[in-house]
Amino acid sequence: RCLCGLASDALPSLGISVKKSGRTTGLTHSTISYVGVNVTVRYDGGRAYFTDQFFVSGGDFIAGGDSGSLIVTDDAAANPVGLLFAGSSSDTIANPIHSVLTQLGSELNATLSFGTSNDAGTFELAPPTDGGGGGGNDKPKGNGKGGGKPKTSIQQTGIAQAMAVRDRNEARLHGYDGILGSGIGIGPDSTANITVFVNKANAGAKRHLPKKLEGIRVEVRMTDEFYAY
């Protein structure tokens, strides 16, 4: 079984440019800022813990009602990268599309993938027909060629190493009130680091965090709580 009309799915990678078209904000553009994110998300009925998610930076990338929007690479190919489902005033949380298709395929006992069909035209993202939303971010970036390529070159071995260190020390990093989660980001020296997300309402939690773990820099990102959209 095939979800037809779209290009093949892509793995979320640090620094790549992405876009999405949502019900509320229309067409918006940004970049993937964190991968391998393990994070707590608040719902009306409580909280849920998610692993191996990715973040898109920029508070104007989404708003309430955009949940379920498909995030794709910001280039002519528009390769699917993930499904938007939660966020804060500064970050968007998305499920990697490969994980979505794998889980859904398991439930349906079918193999699901993105592909093309003879009657499918090109895939275009467009703002809502009523002209709403956009967040001042609805102008395409670049020339539409290669926009999905990483802006910063980071060795995959460095990302894997940082993720392995985070996983070994997750209990230590997440063991305090006010710690919302952690992920792998880009450091000022263009190397992978461990970023810990700390609730602004409990900023004192950051004092428990080390500066480094097993040689990997630990950064702190102050944020609002993450809510499902």
Which pLDDT does position 116 carry in this prediction?
54
β-strands 216-223, 192-199: how paired? parallel
Q: Which of 38, 58, 33, 216 is nearest to 136 (CA)?
A: 58
Q: What's the confidence (pLDDT) of residue 10?
A: 76
Sign of dihedral through CA atoms 174, 94, 136, 186? Answer: positive
Percent of the chain with pLDDT over 70: 79
Q: pLDDT-based confidence at 7, cuts 50/70/90?
A: low
What are the b/e assignments for 46-78, b being 16+ CB within 10 Å?
Answer: eeeebeebbbbebebbbbeebbebbbbbbbebb
What does the block give as tokens for 12?
Answer: 């979320």
**Whole-Å CA distances, 159 to 68, 165, 212:** 27, 10, 15
Q: Rounded mean pLDDT of 123-133?
A: 43
Give the per-residue pLDDT at 219.
Answer: 97
List pLDDT tens digits, range 36-87: 999 999 999 899 999 999 999 988 999 889 999 999 999 999 999 999 999 9
- pLDDT level of residue 105 (50, 70, 90 thresholds): confident
Residue 134 has pLDDT above 90, yes or no: no
175: alpha, beta or left? (left if phi > 0; alpha if psi -120 to 50): alpha
Decide if pLDDT at 3 tops 50.
Answer: no
Name the CA radius of gyration of the chain, rounded. 18
State the average pLDDT over residues 1-19: 71
CA distance 121 to 117: 8
What confidence score (pLDDT) does residue 223 get? 96
Q: Judge contact between 182 and 37, C-beta under 8 A.
A: yes
Residue range 176-228, pLDDT digits in tens: 999 999 999 998 888 999 999 999 999 999 999 999 999 999 999 999 999 99
A 10 A CB-CB count for 218 gives: 19
Whole-model pTM: value is: 0.79
For residue 115, name the pLDDT band (cuts at 50, 70, 90).
Answer: low
Type of residue at 6: L
Per the prediction, the chain carries an average pLDDT of 83
